[in-house]
Amino acid sequence: MNFLELVQTRQSVRKYSSKPVENDLVLSCLEAGRLAPSASNSQPWHFIVVDEPELLKKVADATTNGGLPINKFAKQVPVIIVIVIERPKLLTRLAGKLKHKDFEWTDLGIAAEHICLQATELGLGTCMIGWFDEPKIMELLNVPKSKRIGVVITLGYAEENYLQRKKIRKSPEVLYSFNKW
């Protein structure tokens, strides 16, 4: 499929089948993330693949905490990818301070979307999760306390015929303009 078709096909999957994900497909998704562009080529990320069933259950549980009925679908997936933010290069940190920007967060978003788009192209479903118990996941995965977890991505085969109701997108006139606001 061409790129626009890929973008139109990608959706946040919240119903997964029990079919395991082949390791070569997981590695292909990780490679897409690894190749994502980043400020000063810092590559400020580390991907942790969680696929061991007991650990997977604990990490999934850490995305559903807080008493809110969200992210329960994470308990269905065969793979979770946790993206840890690494410290960017000195040049990137200095530029970020001067411009009041955290470039590593932008870089992380690009890498995460590369993973999700590659998964879609391979016939897999994903959902980026931003609501999670960061200290708990850090403890479970032995992430150093000096690090931050940026996003958790569920990865698996969508339930057969799964199609999330697409929310109506804002019109182009509202979302972009040329040469001025």
**Residue 69's pLDDT is what?**
78
**Residue 20's pLDDT is what?**
97
- The pLDDT tens digits of the residues spanning 77-114 come to 999 999 999 887 777 878 878 888 888 899 999 999 99
**Residue 118's pLDDT is what?**
98
Distance CA 116, CA 29 (A): 7
Residues 27 and 122 sit within 8 Å (Cβ to Cβ): no
Which superfamily, per CATH, for 15-159? NADH Oxidase (3.40.109.10)
Pairing of strands 45-50, 125-129: unpaired
Distance CA 62, CA 56 (A): 10
Distance CA 80, CA 77 (A): 7
Read off the pLDDT band of 51 (50, 70, 90): very high
What is the average pLDDT across 33-40? 95
- The pLDDT tens digits of the residues spanning 145-172 come to 999 999 999 999 999 988 876 777 888 8
Residue partners of 63: CB distance under 8 A and separation at least 6: 71, 74, 129, 131, 132, 133, 152
What is the average pLDDT across 40-66? 93
**Residue 168's pLDDT is what?**
79
- pTM to 2 decimals? 0.92
- The pLDDT tens digits of the residues spanning 56-85 come to 999 999 998 766 778 999 999 999 999 999
In the chain, what are the domain boundaries? 15-159
